[in-house]
Structure 1
Amino acid sequence: MRNLIVFISLISFSSFSQTNTEVYLFDLTTKDNTFNLRNQRNISNNKGYDNQPSFYNDNIVLFSSSRNNQTDIAAYNIRDAKVNWISDTPNGGEYSPTKIPNQKNVSAIRLDNDGKQLLYKYNYNDGNSHELLKNLKVGYHCWYNQEVIISSVLEDDALSLIVSNLKDGSNYTVQKKVGRSLHKIPNSNLISYISKENETWEIKSLDPISGDTKKIINTIPEAEDMCWLINGTILMGKDDQIFKFDPKKDDDWSIFYSFKDSGLNNITRIATNSISTLLAIVFESK
């Protein structure tokens, strides 16, 4: 029952059971303007919920992972092929672990057994934590800089996009009805988010300082899991395919990579490192 509550609160707020997921890591290479994924490895290799990867740096992948009937922050060391644990919260679980800019520490959403759900800061070395945003039921988040956080916050059974300033304690709402994917747009001062205001979902950009927003493109139908490559290309996964779109030169989505006949299916998350040489992808496991 607790797993179902976690999934409802953090994922889509609808009634369905949680499936097993695994985090896979690939080397991302480019030759003659063609992308290739190589050196596939399962870095979670764990029964249960393994999801929401992000890159701490070019050698460490953070993700949420089930152990001992709870969900903790795992840190996979690529060079050593070893998982270390940042958190161990017996009365709760951590989700969406993310490196804090210009710090060694990590932020993550913690859902306690009593239903309390807040964004916390975790010491990378010892796991000690404290609240970052009080009174905001954060589902997903992205750092603009070390003082400004953009969050998808649960309000009235839907997600709202809220910009929070840790320095002055202010919060302002940008938009109601948004999705879970929040990302810094490379080589810009903008954040991308998924707008669900209309029947057709849209990827939009946000200037967190001015509040200005702009449509980039419609999402792949009913998909919202995406990331940005360093060259400004968007990758979006659905089922057993990854699609790509470059706002600078493309008119529509095209297939980036297909996992057909690979045994890997139902992409639920996708993330890349800062220089786009690695790709972490979450698949549902059978």
Structure 2
Amino acid sequence: MDINTTPNNFEVSNFRNISNNPGYNSQPSFADNENLLFAGTQNGQTEIMQFAINLKEKKRINMPTNGGEYSPQKFPKSNKIAAVRLDTTGVQGLYAYDYDNLENGKNKLLLPNVEVAYFAFHDNARIIASELGGNQLNLIIANLETNLVENYISNSGRSIHNVPNSNSVSYTLINEDKNHDIYLLDIDGDKESYFVCQLPVGIQDHCWLSETKLVLGSGSKLYEYNLFGNQEWKEVADLSSFNISEITRIAVSPNGKRLALVAETKQ
């Protein structure tokens, strides 16, 4: 959907269902302002899918592998895509794919021996990721060029995002009440973390509209949190008229003018 946000308004337009596909269709991320990546089911397997927004065209952009690809994201400053691959053997890892020539099937394992579950780029070399660790996820900071991995904190969540126009990354931790708290990590500075707010009960996902505003979905509604506002989640849009419910993952385009979300369609 297209979005237009002002201090007192949140307008939604051009809402459309871009997957219309049975199976798993989730984990959206914008490669740029005109192309959306997501993990989508094709022929019974999860692949890297791309939707060209202006052309209204959807296609698979990777050669099928022995496993399924998840959480596709473009490298910030190169024509490569990273995705989590879950092989049929149960081994899970982060791989790089050549965005310029994806059909050649070439890919490269990043961070050997690290079972990345969810991640976000901070820059071309560094990612912040939740790594599989027994019955929980643990947050790591990893350098893809040197393979240096720093264990940062345990019991993290799946929602990790670069904060626009800043040196910070947001991540979530599971608190004592089993709810998710959002923290900011200054990755270029002292690597200290700062508490931002708690996500609403039962919600795991968030993203950033700007350097000071967060957005999330709950049920069929969108909520906004302003770091310099009333310090509470405020309803800004009701999408029930579009026949959806149970919003989960959410992503905003680099220019802040488009929003993608994952939801169930009402029967």
Question: Normalising by the residue count of structure 2, what TM-score does the alignment of the two structures yield?
Answer: 0.93
**Distance of 1:144 and 1:250 partners within structure 2:** 29
Instruction: Quickly say closer, same or farther: Cα 1:124–1:167, change in 2 above 3 A.
Output: closer
Q: Number of aligned residue pairs: give it.
A: 261
Query: Stretches of 4+ moved more than 3 A in 1?
Result: none
| 1:203-222 alignment, distance < 5 Å | 203-209=182-188, 210-222=190-202
Matched, 1:229 2:204: no
Amino acid at match of 1:232: T
Q: Which runs of 5+ in 1 are unaligned?
A: 1-25
8 Å Cα contact 2:125-2:145 kept in structure 1: yes
Deviation at 1:211, TM superposition (A): 2.4
Instruction: Quickly say closer, same or farther: Cα 1:67–1:263, change in 2 above 3 A.
Output: same
| 1:4-15 alignment, distance < 5 Å | none
8 Å Cα contact 1:77-1:83 kept in structure 2: yes
Partner of 1:52: 27
Q: Give the 3-state SS of the residue equivalent to 1:267 in structure 2.
A: coil
- Once the two structures are aligned, what percentage of the paired residues are identical? 33
Deviation at 1:32, TM superposition (A): 6.7
Instruction: Quickly say closer, same or farther: Cα 1:125–1:84, change in 2 above 3 A.
Output: farther
8 Å Cα contact 1:220-1:236 kept in structure 2: no
Instruction: Quickly say closer, same or farther: Cα 1:102–1:261, change in 2 above 3 A.
Output: closer
Partner of 1:202: 181
**Distance of 1:158 and 1:231 partners within structure 2:** 29
Amino acid at match of 2:238: S
Matched, 1:160 2:138: yes
Partner of 1:40: 15
| 1:1-286 alignment, distance < 5 Å | 26-30=1-5, 33-127=8-102, 128-199=106-177, 200-209=179-188, 210-230=190-210, 232-285=212-265, 286=267
**Distance of 1:120 and 1:175 partners within structure 2:** 23
**Distance of 1:198 and 1:271 partners within structure 2:** 27
Please tell me the root mean square deviation across aligned C-alpha atoms, in Å: 1.4
Instruction: Quickly say closer, same or farther: Cα 1:263–1:136, change in 2 above 3 A.
Output: same
**Distance of 1:231 and 1:142 partners within structure 2:** 16
**Distance of 2:156 and 2:7 partners within structure 1:** 37
8 Å Cα contact 1:142-1:184 kept in structure 2: yes
Deviation at 1:28, TM superposition (A): 0.3
Instruction: Quickly say closer, same or farther: Cα 1:276–1:284, change in 2 above 3 A.
Output: same
8 Å Cα contact 1:272-1:280 kept in structure 2: yes
Residue deviations 1:91-149, cap 9 Å, x none? Answer: 11100000101111110000111111000001113322101111111110001111111
**Distance of 2:147 and 2:23 partners within structure 1:** 37
Residue deviations 1:207-244, cap 9 Å, x none? Answer: 22432101001111121211101252100111111111
Deviation at 1:261, TM superposition (A): 4.5
Q: Give the 3-state SS of the residue equivalent to 1:126 in structure 2.
A: helix
**Distance of 1:140 and 1:108 partners within structure 2:** 9
Instruction: Quickly say closer, same or farther: Cα 1:32–1:154, change in 2 above 3 A.
Output: closer
Deviation at 1:51, TM superposition (A): 0.6
